[in-house]
Amino acid sequence: MQFNLLVLACLAYVILLFSVAFMVERRATRGRLGFLRSPIIYTLSLSIYCTAWTFYGAVGYAARSGIEFLTIYLGPTLVFVGWWLILRKLVRIGRQQRVTSIADLISSRFGKSNALGVVVTLIAVIAATPYIALQLQSLTLSFSVFAKGTPEAWLLPGHEDIALWVAAGLALFTILFGTRKLDAKEQHHGIVTAIAVEAVVKLVALVAVGVFVVWGLAGGVGPVIDKISAMQAPGWQLHHDRWIGLTVLAAAAVISLPRMFQVMVVENVDELHLARASWAFPLYLFAMSLFILPIAVVGLEHMPAEANPDMLVLTLPLAKGQGALAMLAFLGGFSSATSMVIVETIALATMISNNVVMPLWLRLKPGAAMSGDLRAGVLITRRLAIIGVLTLGFLYYRISGGSAALAAIGLIAFAGMAQFLPALLGGIFWRGASRKGALAGLLTGFAIWAYTLFLPSFGEGAVIPADVFADGLFGLSWLRPRALFGTVGMDPLVHSIFWSLSLNVLGFVLGSVLSFPDPVERVQGVAFVNAFDREAQAERLGWSHGQAEPEALLSLTQRILGEEALSFFEEQARAQGKDGYLPDLTPEFLAEAERRLSGSVGAATAHAMISQLFGHATVTVEDLMAVANETAQIREYSAKLEAKQEELTRTARQLREVNDKLTQLSVQKDAFLSQISHELRTPMTSIRAFSEILTEGEVPAEMVADSGRIIHSEAVRLTRLLDDLLDLTVLENGTVQLNLELAHLGQMLDRAAQSASQTRPERRFDIQRDQLSEEIYLLTDPDRLVQVFINLISNARKYCDADPAVLRIVVRQKSGRISVDFIDNGKGIPKESQRLIFEKFARLTDQMRAGGAGLGLAIVREIMANLGGTITYLPGQRGAAFRVTLPLRLEKRPEDAAT
C-alpha cells in the first residue's frame, strides 16, 4: 500500500466533502433544502458522537476491558429512547430561545449571566482539549500504520509533524465552512450534510471490516461466539462500579458535549426529527458496536502481542493483505476524527466569541454597539478561536506524549463535560435553580475534575507533584487526588466522576436554595421550566424605551443580522398594523428583537447590546405576577383584557395612520390642483407671449427662429406633463398593456444607466454594480422596468448631494422574487418625508432645481404595482435607498385579462 496513494485518497475525500458542503450551502441560500432537512440527515449528523474514539478506540477498549466499551453507547441509547423526558424539552427551549450553544443556554437560563457563560466556555474548552488531542493522535497513528514498511518510510515526517499538518488542515476546513457568514440562526446546513456523509462512510467502513473479520477470518457467527467465550484476558470482568459510572457518564456526555448540543439542539430544523432519531440514533450506535468485540477478539488472536490494539481495525486487514479494505477503514477513521473536530471547534468558537469575547468587547467599548461592523468582528473572533482550540489540542497531544489509550483520553473529556449536567437539567426542570447555585456547582465540579482526573492525566509529577499524590495537598491525606476524603481503592475514573458530580450537585442545590435570584433570572426560569406552556412564553421581559429611535435599533440589528434585519422589521411593523420598515418600540417588539440578535451572538451579548441602546431592562409588575404562580386566575382574566386592548391599540394605530394619510392627501389634492394649473400656466404664458411677438410682424428672422424654438420647447414640456398625467391615469386604472418578454436584468440596468446619464451630465457620478448577481433573466415588461430604473438612477444623479456621488445597485434573489436596491451616499430623505415621496407632485426640494413635474416616483410606483412588484424606501442605509421587488416570472392575472 503506497503512502502517496493514501494521502491522495485523503485529499480526494476532503474535496468531496467540500463540494457536498458547498452545494448544500448554495441550495440553502436559495431556500431549496428539501430532503436535506429530513430526519435521516438529522440522525446521521448525530452520529458525530462516534468519533475516532469509537472507530479505533472502541476496539482497543474491547481488547483491553471486554464488553465495558458498550457503556459508552448504552448511556446515549437510554437518553434517546427517553427523549420525551429531557431531549424534547431541550430542543424546544433551544428553538424558543434561539440558543447558540450550551454556554448560551446556561447563561440565558440564569439571568443572561456573563459570568456563567464564561465559566461554561472555559470548562468546555479545557475539557475538549484532550478529546481533540485524541482525534489528532488517532489520525497520526493511522497514518503511521500505513507508513510503516513502505520504501518511502524514511521520507515521511515524524509523528508530530503529521499531527501538526492534520491540525492545520482541519483548522482550514472548519474556518472555510464554519465561519463563512454569520447566520441568524447559527445553523450550518453544509457542514451538517457533510457530516451525514461522513457518518455513512464510517458506518460502512466499520461494518465492512466486521463482516470481513467474522466471515472472512473467523468462519462465521458461531466460531466468533466460541472465541469470545474462550477469551480469558485479564481485566475482562465487569466491574459493577465502572459499569454504572460509565453508563451514567456517557448518558450525561451525550447531552452536554458541545458538539452534540450543536447538532442536536442548535442545528435542529424540526422538533419532530427528534422522534425519529429517538430510535434511529440508538440503531446507528448498535450497528457501530456490533462488530467491535469480534474484531477485538479475532485481532488479538491473529496479531502479535505488541500490536497496538487501538489500531486493530487498520492493522488486521493490512496484515491479511486486504489493501482496499484497509483503505476504506482508514477513510472511516479519517471521517470519524475530522467530523468531530470540525463540529467541536465550531461549537467552541461560537461559545468563545458569543460568551467571552463579545461581552468583554462591549464592556471595554460601551459605544461599540452603535458603530463598526460587528459581523466581521464576530467572524474574525471565531476564526481565531478555531485556531486556538486546535492549537490547544495539538499541545495536549505533544505534552501527553500521544501514548495513552484512546478510550482513556476520551473518558477524561467526558467527565469534564458532564459537569454541565446539573446546571443544565436543574435549569430546565427546577424553577428554584439560581445563578449562584449554578456557578457554585460548576466551579466545584470543574475543580474536582481537574484535580482528580485532568491534571493527573499528564502523569504523576508532571503538573501535580508526586508527593501530593502520596500525601495529599498541603500534606492533608484526605486531599489526595486519587483518594479524596479517604476513599482509597476506588477506581480512579469512578472516583473522579463520583466526587466531582456529587459535589457539583451539592454546590448547585445549596447555592440555589440559599440564594435569592434577581427578577431577570426568575422570568427566564419560568420561560425555561414551562417551555411547553404557552402562557409562560407570552410573559417576557419588558424594556423601558426612552430616547432611542427605531432607526438606531434597525442599524444595530442590520450589523448583526444583515439583510434579514429589514424583513424582520417589516414583518414586525406589519404585525403592529403599520406600513414600512419601522415598527413602534413596544416591549414585545424589543423582546423579539433581542431574541433574534441572541440567535447570532448569544443571549448575554444581545442583552448587553439592547441595554446600551435602551438603558436597563425593567421588570414590570406583570412579569413578577407571572413569576408568582398563585395569580394564575387574575392573569387569565387580564390576559383577555390585554388581548382586547392590544387589538384596540392596533386598530387605533391603523386609524391614526389612515387619518394622517387622508389629511395629507386632501392637502395634496389642493396642492395638486394649484400645482397643475401652475405647471400648465407657466409654459402657456411664455407660448402666449412669444406668439404675440410673432403676430406683430416685421420681426427679424433670428428672433422668429428663437421664438419658434421657445414655443416648441414649451409645447414639448406641456406634452410631457400631459403624457405623464395620462400615463399615471392608465397605470392607476390598471388598464395598461404589458408586453411581457424575457429580458436580461444586467442589460436593462445598462440601458437605464445610459439613458439616465443625460441627467446632469456634468456631474461625477459612480455606479457600483455586481455584474455576476445581475445574470438573471426576467419575464416582465422590459420597457416599463427600464423606465423605473431610469427614474431611480436620474433621481440619484439629481438629488444625491455627496461628492463624489456613488450609487450602489444590489441585486438579490429569494424564493422566486428578486429585489434591486438603489442606494446612494447622499443625505437620504428625512423621515417625515419618506411617506410622501411616492405621491403625485411630492417634490422635496424647490422646483427649479428638480426641473420635473414631480410625477416620477408616483409613476414608478404604479408601474411596479402593474409588474406585480413593489417599490419601497429603505430607511437606515445612510443615503437615500430604494428597493424594487418584483417576481422573476410575471404571470398574467386573469382579472386583468377580463378587464
Partner 1 sequence: MPATGPLFLARAVYRRRRLRDAARLLPMLGMLLLLIPALSQRSTAGDAIYLFTVWAGLIALAAFLAPGLSKADAETAPEGELAEMPPTGEDAEKTAINQTGGAG
> Between residues 375 and 751, which has the closer beta carbon with respect to partner 1?
375
In angstroms, give the least distance from the CB of 870 to partner 1.
5
Alpha-carbon distance of 692 to 690, in angstroms, equals 5
The distance of closest approach from Cβ of residue 606 to partner 1 in the complex, given in angstroms and rounded to an integer, is 15
**CB of 280 vs partner 1, minimal distance in Å:** 8
Nearer residue to partner 1 within complex by CB, 486 or 734: 734
Contact between residue 345 and residue 174 where contact means Cβ atoms under 8 Å apart = yes
CB of 263 to partner 1, least distance (A): 18
**Beta carbon of residue 283, minimum distance to partner 1 (angstroms, whole number):** 5
How many other C-beta atoms can be found within 10 angstroms of the C-beta atom of residue 164?
Answer: 18
Sequence-separated (6 or more) residues with CB below 8 Å from residue 350: 100, 101, 186, 262, 382, 602
Distance CA 789, CA 753 (A): 8
| DSSP codes of every residue in 89-133 | HHHHHHHHTT--SHHHHHHHHTTS-HHHHHHHHHHHHHHHHHHHH
CA distance 554 to 572: 12
Distance CA 879, CA 212 (A): 69
How far apart are alpha carbons 745 and 887 in whole angstroms? 12
Q: Which is nearer to partner 1, 127 or 864 (CB)?
A: 864
CB-wise, 229 or 403, nearer to partner 1? 229
What is the closest distance, in whole angstroms, from the C-beta atom of residue 321 to partner 1 in the complex? 29
Which one, 416 or 876, has the nearer CB to partner 1?
A: 876
Nearer of residues 520 and 890 to partner 1, judged by Cβ = 890
Q: How far is the CB of 210 from partner 1 (least distance, A)?
A: 13
> d(Cα 293, Cα 271) in Å, to the nearest integer?
35
Query: Residue 561 or residue 807: which is nearer to partner 1 going by CB?
Result: 561
> What string of DSSP letters covers 629-698?
GGGHHHHHHHHHHHHHHHHHHHHHHHHHHHHHHHHHHHHHHHHHHHHHHHHHHHHHHHHHHHHHHHHT--
- Whether 265 and 99 have beta carbons less than 8 Å apart is answered as yes
Smaller CB separation from partner 1, 437 or 875: 875
Using CA atoms, how far apart are residues 826 and 807, in angstroms rounded to an integer?
9
Helix/strand/coil for 477: coil
Read off the DSSP letter of residue 889. B
Q: Which is nearer to partner 1, 403 or 815 (CB)?
A: 815
How does strand 542-543 pair with strand 741-744?
unpaired
Q: How long a stretch of residues is the chain?
A: 899
Residue closer to partner 1, measured from CB, 566 or 807: 566
- At closest approach, how far in Å is the CB of 893 from partner 1? 11
- C-alpha span between 676 and 441 (Å, rounded): 77
For residue 804, cis peptide bond before it (omega within 30 degrees of 0): yes
Distance in Å, CB of 334 to partner 1, minimum: 27
DSSP bridge pairs for 810: 821
Going by C-beta distance under 8 Å and a sequence separation of 6 or more, which residues neighbour residue 36? Answer: 24, 27, 28, 189, 193
Task: Give the DSSP H or E segment for 817.
Answer: strand 817-824
Smallest gap from residue 634 Cβ to partner 1 (A): 12
Please state the closest distance from residue 229 (CB atom) to partner 1, in A. Answer: 4
Q: What's the min distance (Å) between Cβ of 699 and partner 1?
A: 54
| One-letter amino acid for residue 208 of the chain | A
- Contact of 832 with 887, CB cutoff 8 Å: no
**By C-beta, is 503 or 890 nearer to partner 1?**
890
Give min distance, CB of 199 to partner 1, in A: 17
Please, is 726 exposed, middle or buried when counting C-beta atoms within 10 Å of its C-beta (0-12, 13-18, 19+)?
exposed
C-alpha cell at 16: 468531496
By the 8 A CB rule, do 749 and 809 touch?
A: yes
Measured from the CB of residue 84, what is the shortest distance to partner 1 in angstroms?
A: 4
How do 741-744 and 870-873 pair as beta strands? unpaired
Tell me the three cell numbers of residue 777: 433573466
Nearest Cα to Cα of residue 494 among 253, 247, 174: 247
Nearer to partner 1, 104 or 824 (CB): 104
For partner 1, the closer CB: 690 or 822:
822
Distance CA(734)–CA(755), nearest Å, equals 26
Which CB atom, from 229 or from 737, has the smaller least distance to partner 1?
229
Name the site residues for partner 1 (rule: CB under 8 A). Answer: 31, 66-67, 70, 74, 77-85, 92, 95-96, 184-185, 225-226, 228-229, 231, 236, 238-240, 243-244, 247, 271-272, 275-276, 278-280, 282-283, 286, 290, 293, 531-534, 536-537, 564, 567-568, 570-571, 574, 596, 633, 814-815, 817, 864-865, 867-870, 885, 887
Residue 13 or 789 with smaller CB distance to partner 1: 789
Nearer to partner 1, 168 or 207 (CB): 207
Residue partners of 637: CB distance under 8 A and separation at least 6: none
Other CB atoms within 10 Å distance of the CB of residue 574: 13
* CB nearer to partner 1: pick between 226 and 373: 226
Cell of 81: 429512547
Nearer to partner 1 among residue 455 and residue 888 (C-beta): 888
Q: How far is the CB of 790 from partner 1 (least distance, A)?
A: 20
Q: Which whole-number Å values give the CA distances from 775 to 372, 657, 745, 768, 788, in the listed order?
A: 32, 40, 7, 15, 19
**Residue 332 · residue 206 · CB < 8 Å:** yes
Q: How far is the CB of 373 from partner 1 (least distance, A)?
A: 22
CB of 133 to partner 1, least distance (A): 30
Quote the least distance from Cβ 538 to partner 1, whole Å. Answer: 9
Interatomic CA distance for residues 487 and 638, integer angstroms? 58
Task: Report how far residue 57's alpha carbon sits from residue 52's, in angstroms, rounded to the nearest whole number.
Answer: 7
